[in-house]
Amino acid sequence: MIYIQLFISFLQIGLFSFGGGYAAMPLIQNQVVNLHHWLSLSEFTDLITISQMTPGPIAINSATFVGEKIAGVPGAIVATLGCIMPSIIIVTIIAYFYMKYRDLDSLQSVLKTLRPAVVAMIASAGVSILVTAFFGESGLIVMKNLKIQMVVIFVICMVLLMKFKMSPVFVMILAGILNVMQYFLLSSLSLGTL
Amino acid sequence: MSEKKNLLLKLFLSTLYLSAFTFGGGYVIVTLMRKKFVSEYHWIDENEMLDLVAIAQSAPGAIAVNGAIVVGYKLAGIIGIIVSVTATILPPFIIISIISVFYSFFRENIFVALMLEGMQSGVGAVIASVVFEMAAGVLKERKITLVIIMLISFIVTYFFNINVIYVILVCIGIGLIQTFMRKKVDEK
């Protein structure tokens, strides 16, 4: 049953994504792309891009997007509920004990060990997104598949983000525009030489 | 009774507003919640809010949702949670539903396809820059165990396709053991 599958998949995403922001991304990729093949890697990348440009957490956005695609509006609702269920239970329990004992130190020191792993997992998801961007959906890393223009756009974006601290949304839109420009520029050039 | 209704309505509208207009992820929304509920409404005092934020950040799941849960729970118990969580997930749910209807439709368009293709590089760069910043934060702690955990986690998830859930469980295990041992040392 597809609803149960959606629910359980997003339940796992909700249960194991610690640290907010991008932490849910590797889990979503694992469930939605690798295990269930609900999205291809480039659809998944589109989803992350859309999530960046709209308000709302990546996990909720993904639950809605994937649920809708696989099983319509009921699918979206089921996936979203699965995604928030662990939070509601766990956060309520922690909040209850906090109001009683007011001790959060042990919890936070346990989570400290988790941080480097979360960074590594985000890095791993990021690398697979870049491999698709540079070499196409096949994921085969061979020089003849390399899209040079994508590497150039990537380098420009890195400079704008790291050196000039520009806003991610702006940089992403710029990346899209650069790709459109180079496409029409190159195709008009090759038409000119004919 | 009507006072409680009023509080719930205010809670609903304010979380709905925050969720619909906050770009930039969980940490931003939690900061705005603090501003609204501590400075503006005086529903929660500053110190308690700091702890509630810490809870929202330590528990699994989206920080925005967790923030809504702690605030809702603090203000009105279970019914407060239902109200604030509904208000938080409604805006992204509606926005993404609309986008997903148009997505397959637009994806065929050459212009949109090129735009999205370029943005793949852009989003890759955004993630890379976030990773660099977060990794720098881990390195700053100057603890060799954390660096080793980071390297091993990357290798097993990227090269060996190990399910990330196992990596998380193992790290929680290591964290529990360390905390337990430290507490024992402290007792002596």
Determine the residue of chain A that is closest to B121 in CA distance: A154
Total count of residues recorded for chain B = 188
- Residue contact B172–A162, C-beta within 8 A: no
pLDDT, chain A, mean: 88
DSSP at A48? H
> Average pLDDT of A148-162?
94
Determine the residue of chain B that is closest to A82 in CA distance: B61
Name the token pair of A164.
Answer: 């000039």
In angstroms, the CA A137 to CA A150 distance is 14
Flag whether pLDDT at B55 surpasses 60. Answer: yes
Flag whether pLDDT at A72 surpasses 90. Answer: yes
The 10s digit of each residue's pLDDT in B123-167 is 999 999 989 988 998 899 888 988 999 999 999 999 998 888 888
Contacts of A1 (CB under 8 A, 6+ apart): none
The 10s digit of each residue's pLDDT in A85-95 is 999 999 999 88
> Average pLDDT of B70-97?
94
CB-based burial, A116-152: b 16+ in 10 Å, e otherwise: bbbbbbbbbbbbbbbbbbbbbeeeeeeeeeebebbee
Flag whether pLDDT at A118 surpasses 90. Answer: no
For A60, the closest of B23, B92, B175 (CB atoms) is B92
Q: Following DSSP, what letter does each residue of A67-123 receive, concatenated? A: HHHHHHHHHHHHHHHHHHHHHHHHHHHHHHHHHHH---HHHHHHHHHHHHHHHHHHH
Vertex B5: Cα angle to B2 and B6 (nearest 5): 90
> Average pLDDT of B59-83?
92
Q: Which of B102, B103, B155 is nearest to A39 (CA)?
A: B103
In angstroms, the CA B168 to CA A45 distance is 23
- Asked whether this complex has an ipTM greater than 0.85, the answer is no
> Average pLDDT of B19-31?
75
pLDDT-based confidence at residue A112 (cuts at 50, 70, 90): confident
**Least confident among A16-20, A140-144, B49-53, B173-177:** A140-144
Find where tokens 């990794």 sit: B135
> Average pLDDT of A113-130?
88
Determine the residue of chain A that is closest to B15 in CA distance: A56
pLDDT for position B25: 66
**Least confident among A74-83, A183-192, B68-77:** A183-192
pLDDT-based confidence at residue A139 (cuts at 50, 70, 90): low
Distances (CA, A) of A34 to A145, B72, B108, B157: 22, 36, 24, 12
Flag whether pLDDT at B26 surpasses 70. Answer: no
In angstroms, the CA B188 to CA B183 distance is 9
Flag whether pLDDT at A194 surpasses 80. Answer: no
> Average pLDDT of A132-146?
80
- Residue contact A34–B89, C-beta within 8 A: no
B165 has a chain A CB within 8 A of its CB: yes
DSSP at A54? S
Q: Which of A41, A53, A33 is nearest to A176 (CA)?
A: A53
Contacts of B163 (CB under 8 A, 6+ apart): A30
Percent of chain B with pLDDT over 90: 38
In angstroms, the CA B59 to CA B67 distance is 10
CB-based burial, B133-163: b 16+ in 10 Å, e otherwise: ebbeebeeeeeeebeebbebbbebbbeeebb
> Average pLDDT of B164-171?
88
In angstroms, the CA B132 to CA A22 distance is 13
Distances (CA, A) of A190 to A89, A179, A182, A193, B113: 60, 16, 12, 5, 21
Helix (H, G, I), strand (E, B) or coil at A131: helix
Interface probe for B, chosen from A30, A113, A174 (most Cβ of B below 10 Å), is A113
The 10s digit of each residue's pLDDT in A3-47 is 999 999 999 999 998 877 788 999 999 999 999 999 999 899 999
Determine the residue of chain B that is closest to A124 in CA distance: B158
pLDDT for position B73: 92
Helix (H, G, I), strand (E, B) or coil at B155: helix
* Chain A residues lying within 8 Å of B140, measured CB to CB: none
Flag whether pLDDT at A193 surpasses 60. Answer: no
B119 has a chain A CB within 8 A of its CB: yes
- Residue contact B61–A174, C-beta within 8 A: no
